[in-house]
Structure 1
Amino acid sequence: MLAVHREQLEALDMDAEVKVFATQAEMVTLRAALNHLRDHPHQPSAPITICSDSQSALATLREGPASQKTLLGAAIWTELAALAGPSRRIHLQWVPSHCGADENERADQIAKEATALPQAAVPVDVATAHRAAARLARDRTIAAWPEGWYRTLMENRLPPPAATGDRSSAVDVHQLRAGHCLLQADWSELDAAQSITDKWDRFLAVWDPIMNHYMPLKTIKLKHRPSPWMEDEAVKEAMAARDLARADRDCTPCEETREEYRVRRNAVKMAINRACSSFYETSFRNSRSKTWKDIRRFLVSSSNCLVSCTDYCKQG
């Protein structure tokens, strides 16, 4: 960066990030120029002209201090406000690059020489970080794309959207492209099997690994255990009456409505207890073995909730 004062040139050294964008580099330079002017006041009332060949940087600053979306833009406007005064004008002038202006050519030469100097980090704005994260995610997605005919065809390009209208069909198209579709599985051993038992075993040998890899089973914790007796009509009627009593209590809070709500709430508990007892009494009369299965299923939680796809298919 060059500072010009009374036909005297002064080269200012500043660190810059190697991978910084062109617009961000110009913004960093503008901020450094304003910092230099603030730290080296020659004539407090003299007008200031800052020349830059970056139209994008000047257009960003032209939007005003309230419209800045980066820390650099806000910092530059803070410096401009600190330097400006009633008798001082600050003018940011665009100068075409490589137009023959000696100062501009000299600044470009110094910038090229500065690329070999030690570098320091520059503040990264949110938009730049978002674009960098998007590029990184895109590159990783392409790198993780499985080998196959579609990757050979697309090379390093992302697949286009599926032409079908509904989401289910689009998922099928993308799975077929990525080689994750069951249509591309090797079913030759299934076709070669002679007996029904062998066909079933070889089907599971293909099906089970695919399901466990792409749709693995996960352990989930239910908020409430199943309670079949909650479908009893008496329980539903008691709960409806309780809800009405709660609404009356909330609309007209008094001792009478609160007492009515307590009565209806206790009636729900009694109805649930009666329905639960009736459920297990009926189950015990019909089948004792099923009763114990229901007790383990509805009243006792199991520590192992996972079954393999093969076990599930065999049970079915």
Structure 2
Amino acid sequence: MAVTATDHSPIVGIIALLSMVIAVLAVGVRLVIKYVITKGLSMDDYLILVAVLFCVVQSICIVVAATHGLGKAESSLSEDNLDTVFKAAYAAEILYVASLTFAKLSSLAFVSFLTQRIGMKEWIFGGAILVWAFTAEFAVAFQCQLPRPWTGQCFDRDAWWTYFAVNNMLIEAALIVLPALLVIRLQTAKKKAALICFLLRIVVIAVIILELYYRHRTTHPSALTAWPVSVCMQSVQSLAILAACIPYLKPFMEGLQSTGLHPYLYPKQSQGSYATRSRKNFGSQELRKLAGVTNRTNVSTDPQEWEAQSQSSQSHIIIRETRTWAVDVQSTAGGD
């Protein structure tokens, strides 16, 4: 269908499907990378999985609304089609809040697992997200009088969506600041890569501002005038899910590992072998600092073992490194 001045429904349907595909692919790539590295999933993965499931159902509701006339002039729609548009948009708003909530909780869980603790700040922040989510779901569910809460006599929805958007932006800002402060305190060459993966959430805040702008621009929402708000909702939802998945991309994971925040991302490489290597290196460095100490390293190979290993199923190069330390002790004796 062609897009005209009185028909923007194709734009709504395409954006809804595209946003859904981006969110599903982002979560799919995240889960695959996570499972390959850690051989398992954790709470933040389950939370983002729930978020993308709500996203899929919400996107389907928007597609249904677009199919029945969301983005078209109401004069061209039948009463049944118009009722379907408002019902589908109503359901999409409820699912929109749920999807955002689980995406934010997943991001918070990711930060908590990076630090290997859940402190008072994390509990308070998580509680604030849940309070925001419950109040939002209640308000959206009962925004208009029963038995038709999707249309009719409604409360001041402009004021409500302003409250919702402001709190949404504050939570997104906190999800930027909380991990960024953690990374900034660390001294590492790849700190910038780790910071970028959290700072990219600024794009989510920008689209929330755009959504709020279109909500206030539409004094009396209709099937025709409400389509920009639907497009912004789809964009905010998919970007929030994408922002929760970006830290799992290879460049950012390497940046997070280099900051020292890797026990969660790389549990196989944690303390045992790392501590052993550290003690060995520390001992070598301390010996080198002693005056009069020289270090000679001999590298040798055993031909018989080489040949025996080459005939086995697993061939390895055997290199023996022999370190010898010579300490010159100088003493002075006093004489007559």
TM-score normalised by length of structure 2? 0.20
Greater helix content: 2
TM-score normalised by length of structure 1? 0.21
Relative contact order higher in (CA < 8 Å, ≥ 6 apart):
2
**Which structure is larger by alpha-carbon Rg, 1 or 2?**
1
